[in-house]
Amino acid sequence: MKKMTHLNRYAATLAVAFILSACGGDDGTPGKPGEPGGPPAMTVDTLQITIDDVTMQSGIATVNYRVTNQDDEPVVGVPSATFIAAQLLPQGYTNAGNSSQWQFFTSQNCPARCTGDYVDYKNGDYSYTFDAPFDGMNDISYQAGATQRLVIKMGGDSLADGTVLPVTNQHIDWQAPTTGPSAEPAYTRNIVTMATCNSCHNDLAFHGSNYNQIETCVTCHNADRVSNPDNIFPQMVHAKHLSGFPGSLANCQTCHVADDTLSENHNWTRVPTMEACGACHNNIDFKAGQGHPAQADNANCIACHNPDWTANVHNDGGNDEALGQFEASITSASLNGDTVSFTLSLRNPASGQLYTDSANNLNFVADLRVYANWGTSFDYATRSPRSIRLQEEVPIAGSDGRYSYQITGVTVPAGTEMDLGALAIQGKVCAANGVLGDCSDTTNSEVNIKSSHQFFSAQALSDSGRRVVVTNDTCGSCHGDQQLNFHGSRNDLEGQCQLCHNPNMVADATDNPSTATADYKHLVHGIHSGQREGYESINYPGNLGNCAQCHSQQAGVLTAGLPLYAGVKPLAITGDLYTSPTAAICSDCHASDSATNHMVQQGAVFKGSLADASALTESCTTCHGQGASADVLKVHPIK
């Protein structure tokens, strides 16, 4: 809460009168005396609402706030706003074991259906006074000691001069007696952030795109506002994610991210309730005793489902803790002819100690493999990299946690000896309750380690290699950190998958080749767009055109907007046919006849000879290159 309030600022300089130049059709009349607001905003790319305070007079609330643009310039003449008020009852208030609950008072839209007093002071400052005391609104009793929330929704309309105002929501949590200024609340309920939701969904907004903050959603989606219990926010959100969720439903922290800035970020473990838990465990009727001992209410939930238990069963039984005790990394590598020599280090990150035995002598190692492929500049020489299983391999040399191995038969095309290669590690360890254990013990289960990759030259390891187009972090924003496991235990989406899923894969000529090939860059586009066979029902949660959802940046530029490497091969199609490289990428999403014709006019080759598809006739970058008139990064809705 600011020390100098909105009202104090107005009273500070009574002798000063100022005339604002016309903005948004404003008549330029003097604003309320006080601190000048500065020149009015002439462009409004974003709206910023700063809520100064809320004051109460005989139970009637007045909110004072300021509206500015992206450059902190006052926005004058905002024609309308919506004001939503709610009250938070603390945990356990309604009954032992119940979570804290929002209670809806009112939503007032000014000036269209304005029953209160909406004031524009013509200097960027505004106020709104509700039409009546909150006490009794919607049959809710105002509790002076409870946390109150006031939400201001603004935008979606235009200033008088036609300037379109973007939508924004802002809220303030406060508490106050029925007469007097507001103060900081003693408690509130903030469980997840909109940034976490948007890591998958991209700019979520509902009800005509007017409401785009969780703090707004919960003020209405509560038992005192909605008639259907399924539309109360926790139940509604949990239920909607049961179908098509891209990660493990057991991993609550995909959404309930640990965040100390959230007052209730551990609520999901601390406050188990039939309502929240039953939204996912929807095969249970708690009150009838079906699928669970009968429970009349939430009073006894915590007796069995304490925070440690809840956290443990929702993170796969302590697998993360077990994985924190094992790390395999390559510390050196080199190439001689078709043989890769490398040294592997095995350590316990939790203790910092190296394991003194090699993988074949560690009883908790169920599977540990290293794959090798060569040729990072042209996306690898073969679709079948060579590999060894270290739990069955006696090291060539080594001791004390560092052991040497060789992989033979690696394909190295003539003339590419100065290129780079990649080694990828995958595997499984055995564990129970967060502790590594003997794989012969049936009480232990196998847990996939986090796969990794390392580039190398003929002489040594290399920090550079194949361009990183997507990262495990960007994939993990929806799927969980390396929790997508393919072919047993491969989960390094950033660099491991490409060792096999590369241009040496061949597409089916009878389908759209870009979505029929298993080449990684095409495979992933086809899966996420629902065009690949078997994935037609995919429900991508974001905007498909927002390439930044998955693509990483290189030197500050999104990789989706960078030209392809010159060594990238054409897309191989059955029948010895090929599609030129850039057209093959673009047609992953842009597969219409008109898009294909456009690409052909610009030199693209579809299902032609290898010579034609490799002739570099594509002129796509003329218009779509970095900084060009139709730059890829400009024409896609990238956030």
Same fold, 226-315 and 320-471: no
pLDDT at 251: 85
538-552 average pLDDT score: 91
Q: Which fold has domain 320-471?
A: Immunoglobulin-like (2.60.40)
Backbone angles phi, psi at 312, to 5 degrees: -65, -45
Q: Which residue has the higher pLDDT, 480 or 219?
A: 219
Helix (H, G, I), strand (E, B) or coil at 61: strand
Type and span of the H or E element at 466: none
pLDDT at 22: 34
Type and span of the H or E element at 48: strand 48-57
Give domain 226-315's CATH number out of 1.10.720.180, 1.20.120.1200, 1.10.1740.10, 1.10.357.10: 1.10.720.180
Checking DSSP bridges between strand 402-407 and strand 397-399, what pairing results, if any? antiparallel
- Residue 559 pLDDT greater than 50, yes or no: yes
Residue 182 contacts residue 174 (beta carbons within 8 Å): yes
pLDDT at 342: 98
80-96: pLDDT as tens digits: 999 999 999 999 999 99
Q: How sure is the predictor about 20, in pLDDT bands with cuts at 50, 70 and 90?
A: very low
**Could you tell me the residue ranges of all domains in the chain?**
48-198, 226-315, 320-471, 513-635
Q: Quote the CA–CA distance of 610 and 616 in Å, as a whole number.
A: 11
Residue 620 contacts residue 602 (beta carbons within 8 Å): yes
Q: Quote the CA–CA distance of 175 and 639 in Å, as a whole number.
A: 36
Find where tokens 């809520």 sit. 51
CA distance from start to end of the chain: 31
- CA 222 vs. chain centroid, Å, equals 25
493-500 average pLDDT score: 96
| Residue 192, both tokens | 């997840």
Whether domain 48-198 has CATH 2.60.40.10: the reply is: yes
Asked whether the bond before 111 is cis by omega within 30 degrees of 0, the reply is yes
92-144: pLDDT as tens digits: 999 999 999 999 999 999 987 888 999 999 999 999 999 999 999 999 999 99
The candidate with the shortest Cα–Cα distance to 451, out of 474, 488, 426, is 426
Proportion of the chain above pLDDT 90, given as a percent: 79
Q: How sure is the predictor about 381, in pLDDT bands with cuts at 50, 70 and 90?
A: very high
Dihedral, 88, 92, 97, 99 alpha carbons, nearest 10: 10
288-347: pLDDT as tens digits: 999 999 999 999 999 999 998 888 788 766 788 899 999 999 999 999 999 999 999 999
443-461: pLDDT as tens digits: 999 999 999 999 999 999 9
- CA 51 vs. chain centroid, Å, equals 28
Contacts of 88-93 with C-beta under 8 Å, sequence gap 24+, read 88/146, 88/147, 88/148, 88/149, 88/173, 88/185, 88/187, 88/188, 88/189, 89/143, 89/146, 90/146, 90/147, 90/187, 91/271
* Ordered alpha helix ranges (H), 437-530: 472-479, 513-516, 520-528
pLDDT at 7: 38
